[in-house]
Amino acid sequence: MTHKRTLAVAAAVALAAMGLTACTGDDDGGPDSGGNVTMDFWHNATTGPGKAFWDKTVADFQTAHPTVKIKIQQVQNEDLDGKLQTALNSGSAPDIFLQRGGGKMAAMVEAGQLKDITADITAETKAAVGEAALKTGQVDGKAYAVPVSILPGGLWYSKDVFQKAGVTTPPTTLDELNQAVTKLKANGTPIALGAKDAWPAAHWYYFFALRACTPAALDAAAKDKNFGDPCWTTAGENLKAFADTKPFNEGFLTTSAQQGAGSSAGLVANYKASMELMGAWDPGVIASLTKDTKPLPDLGYFPFPAVPGGQGDPAAIMGGTDGYSCSADAPKECSDFLNYILTKDVQEGYYKAFNALPVSKDAQGAVTEDYLKAVLDAYNKAPYVSQWLDTIYGQNVGNALNVGVVNLLAGKGDVAGIIQAVNDAAKKG
């Protein structure tokens, strides 16, 4: 049959075409005949001061290194993961790119797609960043990324609304938080929650787990993906008891976290809710959702309150870092650039551009906002810092954990359901 043969030829051509594209595209990166180096650089700041910051940083670096040319590409935040994955798999990965860490980074390392930069991190960088923060870029003791900012979680609140409700000092214990919630209810919604995105709801469980579990129990769960330790159940029961006081906005299950005035950050930005549990990127998100898109003038921060009866430290903190990685075939100048973005001046510029805490201790002195100082204070006082649990446990278990928490809050599942969901997920990954 003629058409069968045509089909076979067509299929062969299609396969060959795809095979070819998979092998090309690796032409840049690496010195050309003149000793010049060209690198591609992907970040997610598409507008405003963030974009300007990277443009300036790259220009300054090129001035200091005349043989290096860096081509910037801004990728919209939500598109970044997908585009990056395609680029990495097709062999045309950017040389320098935003790294969110955790399970995805581990998967990239396993697939041999990241450059081992352990030996390239300079002594100055190590001193400025510190061991704990650098660890977030490591897999099995080898460095594959450097952090640029620290993003600890906690409660972001409106000082004015608290005052109006008669809550004079930020709650430091669970009891005080419950009392504050009761007072705030008279003035509207105490706590905004965007459970449509699941992870904001799961944050509540993570923090209760941080208070209930020892660091050893958290580590053990990351290793064997087994949530058998009773502290996980305690955390769930604490969350259930807290949720039963109905502190969250009505319809929180279909509220998203960051999109529009109706989102949880939007509720805080427009004084429709008093507070929100979120990472340290929240001031920027809230600012973009106020009526005049300026930072909320009375924004405050307090760490997650102490929960009695747990084995975790009441001052421990949870948070992630944003970092940058070099792809496996990137030239050695890539690590030079990573060291450069951790120098004091660049880090101060980063803080000003993104309104986020710089990772370099040398640059943290430049921070002026009350709420960022409060974050820094809590961060520096913390006996240990845990990464977001869904990041540590990898996308697969993290996703199941998030869904389990949403079900618990919706009254569909129970605490045992969360633990069951994690065990089921481990089978799929």
Closer residue to other proteins (CB): 88 or 372: 88
How far apart, in whole angstroms, are the C-alpha atoms of residue 414 and residue 50?
43
Closest separation between CB of residue 259 and other proteins, Å?
10
DSSP labels for 49-105? HHHHHHHHHHHHHHHHSTTEEEEEEE--HHHHHHHHHHHHHTT---SEEEE--HHHH
CB atoms within 10 A of CB 127: 11
Closest separation between CB of residue 74 and other proteins, Å?
23
Q: Match 């710089």 to its residue by tokens.
A: 358
Segment holding 276, helix H or strand E: strand 273-278
Closest separation between CB of residue 148 and other proteins, Å?
22
Closest separation between CB of residue 144 and other proteins, Å?
13
Closest separation between CB of residue 388 and other proteins, Å?
15
Closer residue to other proteins (CB): 23 or 111: 111
Closer residue to other proteins (CB): 249 or 364: 249
How far apart, in whole angstroms, are the C-alpha atoms of residue 393 and residue 226?
10
Bridge partners for 342 per DSSP: none
Q: What residue ranges bind other proteins (CB under 8 A)?
A: 2, 6-7, 10-11, 13-15, 17-18, 85, 88-89, 103-104, 107-108, 110-113, 195-198, 250-251, 253-256, 262, 394-396, 399-400, 402-403, 406-407, 410, 412, 424-425, 427-429
Closer residue to other proteins (CB): 45 or 392: 392
Closer residue to other proteins (CB): 311 or 407: 407
Closest separation between CB of residue 290 and other proteins, Å?
19
How far apart, in whole angstroms, are the C-alpha atoms of residue 94 and residue 97?
6
Q: What share of the chain is helix, strand, coil (3-state, %, to 5)?
A: 50, 15, 30
Closer residue to other proteins (CB): 149 or 396: 396
Bridge partners for 39 per DSSP: 70
